[in-house]
Every structure is written in structure tokens, then in C-alpha cells.
Structure 1
Amino acid sequence: MSTETIWNEGDLDDLRRDFTDVYGGRTVLVTGADGFMGSHLTDALVGLGANVHAFVRATSSGALNNISHLRRDLKVHFADLTDRTSIDYLVRELCDAPDRPYVFHLGAQAHVGESWHRPYETVMANTVGTLNLLQSIVDWGLELEKFDTAGTSEEYGNVRDDVTDHHTYDDAGSLILHERSPINPKSIYATAKVAADFLTMNYYDAFGLPGVVTRMFNNYGPRQNPRYVTGTIVTQALTRPEIELGALEPLRDFCFCTDGVRGHLTVAAHGRPGDVYVYGQGVNISMADWADLIVRTGVEQGFWPDDRRVVTTEARKRPGSSDVMALRVGHEKLTLETGWQPRISWEEGVLRTIRWYAENRERWIGRVDWLPTGSPQLAAGS
């Protein structure tokens, strides 16, 4: 396996022990394969010996940012979820596979903040794109082993007063979110993902398409877009003394990307069609404490000096009352059915994430939404 991958030999040994019998030699489609989570999942599937078809959004350059090291090990399909014709070409080709393919549907516009700036693109990619893929599979009669739609913890939103008693709380009164917890999406992104989840279940009910939904809780790690909170903390700390963030009070349940990939592989291998599975670290942390953990780790490991400070800016807050205040998963269902557990601690995950950003500056410096000290040209997109 290429040195580009974050999967070390121990990780790979565990993957092969748990999943080679399931995915080795099997046909697999990954949408969003060049994205953050999609690329790590693609890495894992190639390492397991799967016959991987990578669905990548077509651009004029045809550049692959995260899976170029796998170019000889898989088949890339440059297509677009919002273009039904390109999806039909792909599904028609998969009909010639010698087995029933697995589909991991991770392709999406996945940034909450961007969904307010690009609402139509978000709904088209996340909802209509999912519909296009599901309908094409039905129309062409493609028989699948499993269809995993990647949902999000953002679908739960905040607790509504009228359904408080439908939620689960621990002994200290903290909210725990399960598969059947009421949903209350607070962003266009979350609403579009709710629709994608329900469409997956609709096609299971109507056509027997073996769909499952995986709601992941706040994945983070190498290759993530630096505009997400973990990346924006790390990249600012690597570049300047002041780290600008939005609200510091919200609580999030952060799960390292390799644990997230194992969640997808586990649910697709063992999950029941027509069912929903949630997973994450199982504990949460405030944005203020998450930033403090990252900054302290970077200082202790020598990635930046000890003069870093966090400040709140209004421009980085979510609009109006749309922020989600507390996300924490209860993954008992997945654990009881399959034995899945998170394996990477926050301390280890944060260190691995910082190291990647520090060693791959050219991969993110042109994508940040803040101005590095002494670099006015960055604002112009150079």
C-alpha cells in the first residue's frame, strides 16, 4: 500500500482480519472517493483487495487530490451526482460485474457553513444526487449487496421542547443521541441529508434495494478540508498566533477518520437492510476545550510556539439560531450487533492530524478561509 495512506501496518492487519473475507475481490463503488472520508475508505478497500470503482466529481482539470496514489489500483469514473446521464453510464457498467456490488455513497456537499452560501448546490448534490443514484440502480436492475448512505449527526439538531421526553439522557442530564432519537435539522446541509436518508429507506421499502444509513459523528483527521473546525484550528496555529473561531460553547463528539471508515465497513458488512446506525467516540467536548487540546498538543510536540491564542469572531458563527449546541452519540446498537468500538483516542487522533497538516502545507494553504500573517496575496486565491 502507498505511503500516502494513513493506515499503518497495525491498522491494516486489523482491517484484513476483520474484512478481507467480506470485501476481498468484491466489486465496490465509492461515491465522493476523492474527498476526505471517501479517500480514506477507498484506501482501506484497495488494501483489502476489493475491485474499487471510484466515483469522482468531474472537473475540467480531472485532478485527483487524495487518491492519485491509487490511480493504478482502481477505476476512476469522472461523473456528477446531479447529472443523471453520467450516473446511468456508471450503473450500466456495474451491471456487468461478476458479483453484487457494494455501494458506499459518501458524495456530498458536506460543509454546514457552505450550505448557507450554496443552498441550491447542496440540495442538488445531497438530495437529488442521492435520488439519481437510487433511481438509476432500480431502472437498470442492478442487484446490490448493500447500499450505504452516509448521513450526519447534524440531522439531530437541537432538542425541541415538545419532544424532550423522547430523548435519552445520562445520569448527569447530558443528551445522548441514538438511531431513533428525534431529528431536527438546523441547516440546509442537515435537511438535505435527512432527505437523502429517507430516500434510501423509501427505495428499500418500495424496491427492496438493500439500503442502510450511517450517521457519523464529527469525523476529523488528515486530508480534511481546512475550513472544518479541526483543520481551521490546526492550520491557523501552524501559521499565525491568533486562531479565529466561531462559538466556543457547542459540544461535539469527534471521531477519528479511521474509526469512521471502520464504521462504514462494519455497517455495510453486517448491518440490516432498511436500518439506521449511528457511531462516534461516545463522548463530547466543547469547541473551547477541543481548541485547547489541539493547541497544547502542537506546543508539546514542537509544531508551533506557545503564543497561540483563540479568539471568537462573529463572522465565523452560524447564522441566527442555527447552531447545534450538543452532539454525543450512543453507539450501543452497532456495538452490540457487530462489536464495533472507536479505537483512536482524541490525543492520538489530534497528533496524527496535526502532523499531516504540518507535512502537507501545499495541500491546504490555498483552501483556507483566513489570512495567514504576512500573506495578503492569499485573499486573492493565490
Structure 2
Amino acid sequence: MPSTKVLLTGSTGFIGSHIVPLLVDRDYDVFVLERYVTGRFVLGQMRSVKTVFGDLREYSTIKKIISEVQPDIVIHLAAISPVAYSYEHPQEVIEANFMGTVNLAEACIREVPHFRHFLFASTSETYGNGPNPRREDTPQNPNSPYAVTKHACEKYLMYMRDGHNFPITILRPFNTYGRKDNTHFVVERTIVQMLQSETVRLGDPNPVRDLLYIDDHTNAYLTCLENEKAIGEVFNFSTGIGVSIKQLVEIISKLTGFEGEVIWNTIPPRPLDIMELIGDYTKAKKTLGWEPKFKLEDGLKRSIEYWRNKLLKDKTM
């Protein structure tokens, strides 16, 4: 019996690069869609992962790819995701995120008669400011071009679900940490600065976030994958616990042994920022049996150990 074909977009990104080997380990027939011919190897898995190249904004190209690959399942992670970038480049973000998602979903429903499941990576950012904790039925108030595109994608996919019985699952993960090669986000930026210098420069200390470790995030996708209970539904994936940026920095300082100075408000504030964002994952727990396994300190210890080893290795090379 042939293996289930899974097409993954965003395979070279933070979440995608962690999901690819997990799919391979589970014997899926994995295809990854990349925008450019870059010569990159996806986690060294090229013997077991097939790469197809195309731009999600070009419907004719995506239609041809989907027609040829005939995926049973699509995991759609690809997006221009930095919130700050979206304020300055709204047209680019709308085209890539919204039109890219429409093109991909429409190609699947039109070109694959046996299509089984479309998993879409939305975001907790779609909630904007509002009451906490956020549940799936909490009113959404997206307050950045990035969040607006994700909200629009959700609405389009729900139309396809209701109008055409398209098998979607919408995942709304909360802020995730555990990056291996990117220090532009607050957890990794803080860790690396504390390991490298006596001075740490950060932005606003007051926002509160619900921080999810990468392994819990990837497990959310595996939990939804081919799960009948997930189809047609929207799920939050979070820890249910909020921590201010100031508290986060104090925890990292303690775990790294940092004794230097933290200078706040060195990064310009966003035009609109969410001051407190905490999720409620009750629905995912009751429906799917998913719950986070990593407490914040445990995930931070793993992240600190990784970056300590990486920085030491880079220094000796």
C-alpha cells in the first residue's frame, strides 16, 4: 500500500524544519515546496524528501505542482511572518500570505479528487487585544498586516469548509521559542546576548506572552494530522500561563548566570501591540488529547544549552 503523500510548505522555516524529520520518521511520502532553487538541503533529508519549486503567489504554477504531486495532505506553514516587517510591506505580506493560501487551497480542491486534509498555520496574533485567556470563540481583532492576512486566510478556509466540504484544520499556536538559527525573537535574543556580553538591549518589558516550546508546537501538528476529530475545527495551542517580558528576562538571567546590565526600550515600539496574550487550550485537550509537556524553565534550559554549545562551536571554528 503506497505511503500517504504529505506536501509541506515553509519547510525551511522555524516550525517546518522541525516537522520534516518527524514526518519522515513516520514513513510519510514527504514533498516540500520551496520558493527558490537555493541548493539548500532540508535537514539533510534529501534522500527521503522530494523538493518541488514554485511561488505560492502564482496560481498556474501551484495548480501544476498540486496536479503532479497529488498530495493526500497539505501542511501549510509558509508565510511572511515577522510582524514588524508587515507594517512596512503590507502589499507583499498580503500577496504571499493571503493569496498564497487561497491559491494552494483552491488547487487542492480542484486538482486532487482524493484530498484528505489541509492543515493551516494561523496564529494567536489574530486575537489582537482583548480578554484573557483567549478561547477559540474569543472575538478576533487583528492589529497588524500580518495578523490581518492570517485572519483573512482563516475566513476563506472556513468558507471552503462550509461551501465545499473542504477538510481543513486551523491551528492557532501561541508565541513559540526554541529557534536554532535566528536571534531576532525575544527568547533567543536574550539568551544569546546574555551568553555573549555584559549588556543586554531589549524593547518593552511589560507585554505578557504565553510561551510555547517548539516540541509542543510540532506535536500539535502531529496530533491533528489525519485525526478525524480535528477536521473542520480551529484549535489554540498554548500553555495557558502568561509571563511578562521582564519576568522572562529574569528567569533567563538566573538560568544563564548573567550578572550584567539589561537596558530596556532600545527597540522602537510597534504601531499597535498586544499587551497581554494568554491562550486557553481546553478544546485541544478535550478533543485531541493534546497538552503542553514542557514547562517554561525546562524549555528555556534546553534553549540555553543549545545556544551555549553553538556559540562555543562557532568560536572554535
**Would you say same fold, with TM above 0.5?**
yes
Report if the CA contact (8 A) 1:253-1:284 is conserved.
yes
Residues 75 and 361 from structure 1, CA distance in 2 versus in 1: closer, same or farther, beyond 3 angstroms? farther
Report if the CA contact (8 A) 1:267-1:277 is conserved.
no
Report if the CA contact (8 A) 1:30-1:52 is conserved.
yes
Q: Select which of 270, 274, 278 maps to 1:328.
A: 278
Mapping of 1:49-128 within 5 angstroms? 49-59=27-37, 61-64=38-41, 67-95=42-70, 101-128=72-99
Give the drift of 1:87.
1.3
| Structure-1 separation of matches of 2:182 and 2:95 | 21
Report if the CA contact (8 A) 1:29-1:104 is conserved.
yes
1:205 aligns with 2:162: yes
Q: Select which of 134, 138, 151 maps to 1:177.
A: 134
Report if the CA contact (8 A) 1:111-1:228 is conserved.
no
Report if the CA contact (8 A) 2:211-2:238 is conserved.
yes
Report if the CA contact (8 A) 1:31-1:55 is conserved.
yes
Unaligned runs of 5+ in 1: 1-23, 160-166, 168-174, 300-305, 366-382
1:256 aligns with 2:256: no
Letter in 1 for 2:63: D
Matched positions, count: 313
Mapping of 1:220-239 within 5 angstroms? 220-223=177-180, 225-239=182-196
| Structure-2 separation of matches of 1:224 and 1:188 | 25
| Structure-2 separation of matches of 1:85 and 1:361 | 44
What are the superposed Cα offsets for residues 278-315 of structure 1, whole Å, 9 maximum, x if unpaired? 1111111001111121222122xxxxxx3333222353
Q: Residue 310 of structure 1 aligns with which residue?
A: 262
Q: TM-score, normalised by structure 1?
A: 0.77
| Structure-2 separation of matches of 1:147 and 1:102 | 6
Residues 184 and 363 from structure 1, CA distance in 2 versus in 1: closer, same or farther, beyond 3 angstroms? farther
SS of aligned partner of 1:189: helix
SS of aligned partner of 1:360: helix
Give the drift of 1:268.
2.9
| Greater alpha carbon shift after TM alignment, 104-113 vs 356-365 | 356-365
Report if the CA contact (8 A) 1:94-1:142 is conserved.
no
Letter in 2 for 1:76: T
Give the drift of 1:269.
3.0
What are the superposed Cα offsets for residues 149-206 of structure 1, whole Å, 9 maximum, x if unpaired? 11101110102xxxxxxx5xxxxxxx21111000011111111110111111111122
Q: Residue 349 of structure 1 aligns with which residue?
A: 299
| Structure-2 separation of matches of 1:127 and 1:43 | 27
Report if the CA contact (8 A) 1:29-1:53 is conserved.
yes
Q: Residue 33 of structure 1 aligns with which residue?
A: 11
Give the drift of 1:226.
1.5
Report if the CA contact (8 A) 1:251-1:326 is conserved.
yes
Q: Residue 22 of structure 2 aligns with which residue?
A: 44
Give the drift of 1:364.
10
SS of aligned partner of 2:251: helix
1:194 aligns with 2:151: yes
Identity %: 29
Q: Select which of 283, 287, 310 maps to 1:360.
A: 310
Report if the CA contact (8 A) 2:66-2:112 is conserved.
no
Pairwise CA RMSD of aligned residues?
2.2
* Structure 1 moving runs of 4+ over 4 Å: 361-365
Q: TM-score, normalised by structure 2?
A: 0.92
Give the drift of 1:76.
1.3
Letter in 1 for 2:46: R
SS of aligned partner of 2:280: coil
Q: Residue 243 of structure 2 aligns with which residue?
A: 285
| Greater alpha carbon shift after TM alignment, 306-315 vs 82-91 | 306-315
Residues 245 and 229 from structure 1, CA distance in 2 versus in 1: closer, same or farther, beyond 3 angstroms? same
Give the drift of 1:86.
2.8
| Structure-2 separation of matches of 1:247 and 1:267 | 35
Give the drift of 1:142.
4.2
| Structure-2 separation of matches of 1:346 and 1:224 | 20
| Structure-2 separation of matches of 1:49 and 1:191 | 36
Residues 142 and 356 from structure 1, CA distance in 2 versus in 1: closer, same or farther, beyond 3 angstroms? farther
Residues 199 and 342 from structure 1, CA distance in 2 versus in 1: closer, same or farther, beyond 3 angstroms? same
What are the superposed Cα offsets for residues 242-299 of structure 1, whole Å, 9 maximum, x if unpaired? 2221111111000111111111121233244322111111111001111121222122
